[in-house]
Amino acid sequence: MSRLLAPTLREDPGEAEVPSHRLMLRAGMIRKLAAGVYSFLPLGLRVIHKVSNIIREEMDRSGAQEVFLPTLLPAELWQETGRWNIYGKELFRIKDRHERDFCLGPTHEEIITDLVRNNLRSYKQLPLNLYQIQTKFRDEVRPRFGLMRGREFMMKDSYSFHDSEASLDKEYKNMFDTYCRIFDRIGLQYKVVEADSGAIGGGFSQEFMVLADTGEEEIFYCESCGYAASRESAGVGKYKVTGQGVSRTEHKMQETLTPDKKTIDEVSGFLKISPEQMIKTLIYETEKGPVAALVRGDHDLNEAKLKKLLGVEEVRLADEKVIEKVTKSPVGFAGPVGLKNIRIIADTAVALIPDGVTGANKKDHHLIHVVIERDYKPELTADIRLAISQDLCPKCEGGHMNVTRGIEVGHIFKLGTKYSAKMKANYLDENNTEKPYIMGCYGIGVGRTAAAAIEQCNDKDGIIWPAAIAPFVIDIIPANTEEKEQMELAEKIYSELTKLTPDIILDDRPERIGVKLKDADLIGFPVKVIIGKALKDGKIEIKLRKTGETKLTPVGNAIEELAGYVR
Ligand code: ATP
Ligand code: MG
């Protein structure tokens, strides 16, 4: 350790909001170069290598083959699938000296599909799964939390190619099991949830979430049947709204004055009604034209669900101009009654409102006693809202949904032919017919996984690494380096154990024992061997970071006992 670059910090760095970020900085593992861009120091890099090695071993065991694709990617491939435009600002775009467009790879579906279409023709060569461990670039809106959400970060990504859905299903299951083995070996507690496919797209996908209070994601799970989903994709069971069973109002729909009252709170407060009675009308623009989406006043729309339902690539809230054009009134008074030339989609909860209130498409006016089908007819009624705690489970429809927090460390997708069809990436089947590959893709954030391990296991003194990814497993600490006897024994144990594993470190710094112990706990070495006072009685002290358990061991047994920890 006297030669190791591990600049530990006594004070908490101000910019760090979560334990993993704070502790990796304090333990001298990483340093920030720019927002979301980090340098790895020796200890940090060792952790990254441990995580990558576990991933590599398990991917190899699964039958996947390692490749290494470029990071500097020509725009043409991205234009073939249309993602050059769709990816938006998250894509780091650059031009070469000839003014040709390139980007720094945020993910590699196009690149791998191109490689495979140029080099594999026959169904006999399928299935195939290729993976790489590589730096990715994404210009995130909010890079934060250190390695959790970087703009430059390391990812294991893999892509599989098939000639049938059944073959894809089999490999997807193989990857699911492989991911479980990876996260089990690392020693993480996680939940697998159904997820939205986001910008990568395609069909079914699942996320591996490490459970942690500091996680950015909300996980919805049913306490009775075990269904679990991300916030974006959590379905909603057919639940009862207040008043269901109460028959629809007999009153005629009526216009009422609501001067300057626009928001749900303002209107419901002014009219002295519950937000559950309000029909919130959101005007969205899509590449297939505008849409009016209706959700109950106390609910929020789920854009991912709306997108999927409409089969569009993009939905965005309409601006003032479009709203005024569609509703022929200022913003704040939109409602479904009398709306023309626009598709109207209602959430299932809206359909159950017995006596609704909504905008009148007229300045300073709302409508009361509004009833679906009688006063307005949506084209479709479907689940388009965000789930909330205590919703009925969409799967068993008996249990209720709970919410917990997690960190997405891995994501597996069934892509189908989304990329291969657009890129004319075909193979020849038994009858010599060209068919697009059926694909899957599978990602793990390497740095994020390391950070998640810290979020899950730390205390006031520092990191508590799971042994599988600790930078060193055993820290040998002579209490006083000036004492010849202590140093000699320390060096002897060090050289014996390093025959078994490189994961041993010797703290030969001429520091006080207190400083060395503090650093050891901060960095989070799983086992400390303290060679100090007890040596007079022929003993050394072995202390475990996780439990704090300490025991004195006779010098004669030390190597054998520590070899046990190594194993
Ligand atoms: P998020 O929703 O957190 O932005 P994502 O859905 O965009 O993640 P994928 O495209 O599925 O992520 O990428 C695969 C994996 O890469 C993720 O599961 C995550 O572990 C990791 N990852 C994604 N973005 C980042 C980032 N900005 N920094 C670090 N790791 C990341
Ligand atoms: Mg993302």
Please tell me the CATH code under which domain 254-382 is placed. 3.90.960.10
Q: Which helix (H) or strand (E) holds 301?
A: none
Residue 561 identity: E
Mean pLDDT of 371-394: 94
pLDDT tens column, 283-336? 999 999 999 999 999 999 999 999 989 999 889 999 999 999 999 999 999 999
CATH 3.90.960.10, the chain: domain bounds:
254-382
CA 398 / ligand 2 centre spacing (Å): 33
Report which protein residue has its CA nearest ligand 1's atom 13: 443
Residue 148 has pLDDT above 90, yes or no: yes
Q: Report whether pLDDT(19) > 90.
A: yes
What's the 306 CA to ligand 2 centre distance in angstroms?
Answer: 19
Q: Tokens 């207040």: give the residue.
A: 242
- pLDDT beyond 70 at 239: no
Q: How far is CA 237 from CA 279, 310, 344, in A?
A: 20, 20, 22
Give the up-direction half-sphere exposure of residue 397: CA atoms within 13 A in the CB hemisphere: 4
Which residues does ligand 1 sit against, CB inside 6 Å?
107, 138, 140, 149-150, 153, 155, 198, 200, 408-411, 443-445, 447-448
Give the pLDDT score at 201.
56
pLDDT at 200: 55
Can you give the pLDDT at residue 162?
98
Q: What angle do CA 137, 158, 440 make, to 5 degrees?
A: 115
What is the number of other CB atoms lying within 10 angstroms of the CB of residue 142? 9
Residues of the chain with CATH 3.30.930.10: 19-189+431-454
CA of 452 to the centre of ligand 2 (A): 16
Which pTM value belongs to this model? Answer: 0.86
Q: How far apart are CA 150 and CA 159, in angstroms?
A: 23
CB atoms within 10 A of CB 299: 22
Topology (CATH level 3) of domain 472-566:
Rossmann fold (3.40.50)
Task: Indicate the range of 237-241, 255-259, 320-324 predicted with least confidence.
Answer: 237-241
Q: What is the pLDDT of residue 500?
A: 95
5 within 8 A of 28, measured Cβ to Cβ:
yes
Look at residue 241 and tell me whether its pLDDT is greater than 70: no
For residue 198, pLDDT over 70 is answered with: no
Q: What percent of the chain has pLDDT over 70?
A: 98
Ligand nearest to the backbone CA of 198: 1
CATH 3.40.50.800 location in the chain: 472-566
Q: Are 48 and 186 in contact (CB under 8 A)?
A: no
**Å from CA of 16 to ligand 1 middle:** 20
Q: Is the pLDDT of residue 156 over 70?
A: yes
Fold of 19-189+431-454: BirA Bifunctional Protein; domain 2 (3.30.930)
Please give the number of the atom of ligand 1 that sits closest to the Cα of 106.
10
Q: Mind listing the pLDDT tens digit for each residue in 468-485?
A: 999 999 999 999 999 999
pLDDT for 240 equals 55
